Amino acid sequence: MKNKIIVVAILITTFLSLSACSKLTKSESTLIKGQWELLQEPTQVTSNLKLLDFPDSSTSTLNFTKVKDYNFNEKKHELSYLKRYKYQVAFDNSGNILTLSTKKQKITYYRKDSVQYKKAITPIKNRMDSVNEVWKTQNQSFLKEYEEAIAGNWSNAKGNAQVNLNHDSPDPDATLSISNPKFLFFDVSFTGGARDKTMSVSFKNKNISDAIIKLSYSDFDTLLGHGWSSSENLIATKEKLKALTFRDLFMKLGEVTLTYSVPESKLSQDINVSAYKATVASNLTRFDECTITTRDCSTDNEFKAYLTPVETTN
């Protein structure tokens, strides 16, 4: 009697194991049917508050639901897809992880919405969200420091630096006035124009609410090191972001640009400050010179003004 119980238990365990292993209970021709997703690396966004995101899943999905789109030779484990791609096919024991191989590479896909896909992507997503949250905090801190340092009155009336008299240097006097930031926005007044008269701008007390520090993909490579957005590096990237200071932006990049659009117009402006024309320390930030570029987004006309602070007398 005892032996019968042991045999029955073994049979039940074996049955459950086989049932849980779809590769052993289904043919590969059946297994391959459906939608498969590639587990992609996070992509760089570098927007105002978001640094990383996942690519559009539609660009990383294989669809084996229409027979006309693919041909699978089960005996040779060969897949032809869209009459252009040929792969060797292998499945894991669950039948939910698909490896497509060529002579040059191996690509792993997961069955759409499978437990295996969620298990693989969840830790990456959590680390990515954590990086984005740190960047959001740091970005707002950097923006506030920049706005506080750039606040005040600026003019090119004194020592009007000129690069191209026909275009790059505006008519004297170009002036810029920026109020102290109020919860990450400020009021700006500007007057100036190109010497060739292709563009002239004057506005007062415009409330700017979409100012961002302009950083490119290569800027983040400089700040954080190459490979910072790879899934295996996200924990280290988070710590590097936490340690990043406003001074680091200048010391590592050489210059930092604040950009914003002008409300109710087609104008945008960039304010560029060089590390060689600024004092950036833990307790003091002072800009000695700046370059402001005014651009008409509808015509691509622009001009630059090279400005210095206007000394105020009490």
Q: Cβ distance 57 to 131 under 8 Å?
A: no
The helix/strand/coil state of 267 is strand
**Per-residue DSSP letters for 102-131?**
-SS-EEEEEETT-HHHHHHHHHHHHHHHHH
Q: To which H or E segment does residue 11 belong? A: helix 2-20
What's the token pair of residue 270?
A: 């960039």
The helix/strand/coil state of 279 is strand
Handedness of CA 178, 183, 185, 189 (dihedral sign): negative
Q: Domain extents for the chain? A: 21-113, 137-309
Per-residue pLDDT 10s for the chain (314 aa) are 555 555 444 444 444 444 444 555 689 989 999 999 998 889 988 776 789 998 877 668 888 888 778 889 999 999 988 878 899 999 999 999 999 999 889 999 999 999 999 999 999 999 999 999 999 999 999 999 999 999 999 998 765 555 555 555 666 678 999 999 888 889 999 999 887 778 889 999 999 888 899 999 999 999 999 999 999 999 999 999 999 999 999 999 999 999 999 988 999 999 999 988 888 777 668 898 999 999 998 888 998 888 999 876 55
DSSP 8-state secondary structure symbol assigned to residue 165: T
Structure confidence at residue 169 (pLDDT):
62
Distance of CA 167 to the CA centre of its chain: 34
Q: Which residues pair with 256 in a beta bridge?
A: 273
Q: How far apart are CA 127 and CA 7, in angstroms?
A: 47
Nearest CA among 14, 234, 257, 247 for reference residue 127: 234
Structure confidence at residue 190 (pLDDT):
95
Q: To which H or E segment does residue 134 belong? A: helix 115-150
Q: Cβ distance 78 to 70 under 8 Å?
A: no
What's the token pair of residue 184?
A: 């990450």
What's the token pair of residue 240?
A: 């590097």
Structure confidence at residue 196 (pLDDT):
78
The residue behind tokens 């240097």 is: 169
Q: How far apart are CA 176 and CA 202, in angstroms?
A: 10
